[in-house]
């Protein structure tokens, strides 16, 4: 999680102990992609860029999409 100055209020438990999660290196961003149960495949070329947040108090994780626009390479 980022440093303490970036803490935000958790929408679930309302403690100010939530913050943006860093994507695992070497990635810089999270991308919400599709998955097919029929073929057991991920489709990493299309998805919604999202910010991920986590709460240190209730341990919930949630996503926000700043643009709600799909990226499609």
- According to the binding rule CB under 5 A, does residue 12 interact with Zn ion? yes
Q: In terms of CB distance, is 10 or 50 closer to Zn ion?
A: 10
Name the burial class of residue 31, with classes exposed (0-12), middle (13-18) and buried (19+) by CB atoms within 10 angstroms of its CB: middle
Q: Which of residues 36-65 bind Zn ion (CB under 5 A)?
A: 55, 57-58
Q: Do β-strands 41-55 and 61-64 pair in parallel, antiparallel, or remain unpaired?
A: antiparallel
Residue 26 Cβ, how far from Zn ion at the closest point, in Å?
Answer: 29
Interacting residue ranges for Zn ion, rule: CB under 5 A: 10, 12-13, 55, 57-58
């Amino acid at each position: 999680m980022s440093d303490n100055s970036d803490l935000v209020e958790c929408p679930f438990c309302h403690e100010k102990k939530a913050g943006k999660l860093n994507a695992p290196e070497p990635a810089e961003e999270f991308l919400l992609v599709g998955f097919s149960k029929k073929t057991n495949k991920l489709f990493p070329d299309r998805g919604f860029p999202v910010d991920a947040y986590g709460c240190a108090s209730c341990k919930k994780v949630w996503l926000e999409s700043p643009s709600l626009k799909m990226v499609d390479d």
